[in-house]
Amino acid sequence: ADLVDLAAPILEALGEASGETINLAVPTPLGVEHLAQVDSSHFIGSTNWLGRRVEYSTTAVGKVFAAFGAAPPELGAAFPANVLEQVRLRGYAAAVGELEPGLAAMAAPVRGAGGETIAALSISGPDHRLTTARIAELAPVLVAGADGLSARLGYRATTQGAA
């Protein structure tokens, strides 16, 4: 409940910025579980994901959890190594038509105070709106939202350099 409460303003802001469906999801032993959602502003949009579990291997959120160590270890083998490395380098994952034809999604990791990935934020919608170009446009907004929620949870990114 605390995670959902802390995430609420960020979910709303992402919904305003994208016009698409926004979700907060967590890893479970049985798959990705969605805890909170802001609905799309469009008539055609994603379904209600709350309380639903989906497989790791078919979602952008699942790729995030696999790339950042929050998924069961055997899941990493379900993805080519270059896919997970790309997710780590970009800071977000995308899945277009993988869970269902016509559905596109992108997700970014949310880290706890210790740096572990504990959740993910996602944007999803039909692939005619959430195109490759739109995903690239929304990526910085999504990553900033996930980083903002991570900061609210006590995560502090560290960089090396002169003090």
pLDDT in tens, 61-84: 999 999 998 887 777 777 887 999
The mean pLDDT of 40-60, rounded to a whole number, is 68
Cα(163)–Cα(40) distance, integer angstroms: 45
159 against 112, higher pLDDT = 112
Compute the mean pLDDT over every residue in the chain, rounded to the nearest whole number.
Answer: 88
Nearest to 144 by CA among 109, 94, 116: 109
Say if residue 42's pLDDT is above 60: no
Tens digits of residue pLDDT in 116-155: 999 999 999 999 999 999 999 999 999 999 999 999 999 9
> Once rounded to an integer, what is the mean pLDDT over residues 50-62?
79
Mean predicted confidence (pLDDT) in 110-119: 96
pLDDT of amino acid 50? 59
What percent of the chain clears pLDDT 70, i.e. is strictly above it? 87
> How high is the pLDDT of residue 133?
97
DSSP, collapsed to helix, strand or coil, labels residue 124 as strand
